[in-house]
Chain A
Amino acid sequence: MRFFKARLPQLTLLPSLVLVAVSVYGFIALTFVISLTRSRMLPRFDRWEGFDNYARVWSHPRWEVAVENFAIFGLLYIGGTLVIGLGLAILLDQKIRAEGALRTIYLYPMALSFIVTGVAWQWLMSPDLGLQHAFRTWGWESFSFDWITQSEMAIYCVVIAGAWQASGFVMALFLAALRGINTEIISAARMDGASGPAIYWHIIIPALRPAFLTAIVVQGHLSIKSYDLVVALTRGGPGFATELPSTFMYEFTFSRNEMAMGAASAVMMLVLLTVLIVPYLYSELRHGR
């Protein structure tokens, strides 16, 4: 009894720890083990194939497309949200009238699910009745915006919809950071003769470093696991032109009964993410206390 009383705080953590230990660490281990087997429709542990499934995934043309798309999507999505978010934050920080309303407009997409975003943009981007049709009806006959039907361009549609959804969040992050900068430093720089752009370049943007870090980690994380957006916007198509690692994993695991290959692709997604976030976690834990 005394024992339990003295350890009450630790004991209250126990349920959560068990849940997370099983559902995060246990499952990661299991998925890894499955990726080494010959599981197809169901997990089976009687045939071991080492890393053959990884070789199989890497030599698959769809995975090649998925990785290429991920590179395009990841870079443009992260870069795009950072540029748009930072730009809007700086402009909004100029004592703008109606700032509250504008902020709400930039931010509301963050409340939506990727499914809704995908549905809405699919509709806007459809060549027959969407924006292309609208511009042509208004008299710009040669206007053309039919990327969603073109294999080489469809991935950029995913980038546009993704950036539309997430830029507001990045803006809010930067805006909060901008407002948190000590105004005395800026006054001091102005006294020292720095001009507006120089102040931004030398003082304000360097002070936003933590916000940059957070934004990159959060957006990078979203870009790696984003699945719903592609499903709702393009269903991975045309063909498999907008395949991403996440859709590859789902398709192979649940539709094609290649569970081991699906598991192998999931493990590679995790490795990619770990490379991105371990440095971040490390600094968070070091500074967080």
Chain B
Amino acid sequence: MAADMRRSVQRGVVYLVLVLAAGFFLLPLVAMVFTSLKTMPEITGGAGFETATILSPPRLWSFEAWGLAWSSACIAVACEGLRGYFWNSILLVVFAVSISVALGAVNGYVLSKWRFRGDSIIFGMLLFGCFIPFQIVLIPMARLLGLLDLAGTLGGLVLVHVCYGIPFTTLFFRNFYVTVPDELIAAGRMDGAGFWQIFTIILVPISWPIFVVAIIWQFTNVWNDFLFGASFAGPDTRPLMVALNNLVNTSTGTKAYNVDMAGAMIAALPTMLVYIVGGRYFLRGLTSGAVKG
């Protein structure tokens, strides 16, 4: 009996801690969503809203702030909302992700299945690229983009993200392909398949778990990037995160908190969506590679 009591108290404490933690993790999201759906008087505690707080649900539901953030809020000099920047980010992500993932897949294939003298040194050199603080490359990259006439263009930003994405995608694919038996490649060669045929016909169709990991990883990194966007984009090619930061930190006029939060939600939704849809596969793939020791 006493043991049973103790056990259920223990269980209760475990659940309590987990639920409190969940509350902590949800706090900012709740505040963002609620604020984005309120009108300004309700946010600032104007007449009739004296008891409203950052965590109270909106009494007057309003989607106005979302509309403003999307298409007419003022960012720097232009008052056209985040819309244009959103499409910049989409374009950027499509090209940067597809190129870096494709290159990483081929690199991983070569480094695991077509071993040659010095291949592990090359892999080590690529791996190091995952770990550099990007501050170390900002100055020369700015110069190079200028020399290539790519300064301030979307193409230049794609190039930057491809350069610093390759080490990660190569790491993912290489660690995945070392777990694929070498006999599969030997069988392909015996059956008359060449270098590219073995890759595209035999390996790519079984690689979707690692494609999910690499694509989600690159998608979130490129979408969420601020440093490269702030450093290398032009006024018309700014990605969404840079625009969001400008929106929130514009010092002109009164601060429209609801528009800021709606903007933050717009910026957060695509990656959150990707996580909800593919997060399970992403984590499985990522941790199986990362924890193996």
Chain A positions near chain B (C-beta within 8 angstroms): 8-10, 12-13, 15-17, 19-28, 30-31, 34, 43, 84, 87-88, 91-92, 94, 96, 102, 104-117, 119-124, 129-131, 133-134, 137-138, 164, 168, 172-173, 176-177, 180, 209-211, 213-214, 217, 221, 224-225, 227-228, 231-232, 235, 245-246, 249-250, 253-254, 259, 262-263, 265-267, 269-270, 273, 277, 281, 284-285, 287-289
Contact = CB atoms under 8 A, between A and B. Distances in A.
A50 to B, nearest CB: 19
B65 interface: no
A13 B160 CA distance: 18
Contacts of A289: 120, 178
Contact of A129 (B54, B131, B249, B288): B54
B128 to A, nearest CB: 7
The 5 closest A-B pairs by CB, nearest first: A113-B224, A210-B293, A176-B287, A9-B114, A134-B53
B272 A108 contact: yes
Interface residues of B, number: 97
Interface of B: 11, 14-15, 17-18, 21-22, 24-29, 31-32, 35, 43-45, 51-56, 103-104, 106-107, 110-111, 114, 116, 120, 122-129, 131-141, 143-144, 160, 162-164, 166-167, 170, 175, 178, 195, 220, 223-227, 231, 241, 244-245, 248-249, 257, 260-261, 264, 267-268, 271-272, 274-276, 279, 283-284, 287-288, 290-293
Contacts, number: 277
Contacts of A15: 103
A43 B143 contact: yes
Given A20-B167, A105-B26, A228-B226, A246 B135 contact: yes
Given A9-B110, A138-B53, A227-B227, A119 B248 contact: yes
B114 A119 contact: no
Contacts of A129: 43-45, 54, 257
Given A124-B31, A129-B257, 9 more contacts: A13-B111, A20-B167, A27-B141, A28-B132, A31-B140, A115-B264, A120-B29, A176-B291, A281-B124
A113 B267 contact: yes
A27 B116 contact: no
Contacts of A20: 125-126, 129, 163, 166-167
A104 B25 CA distance: 10
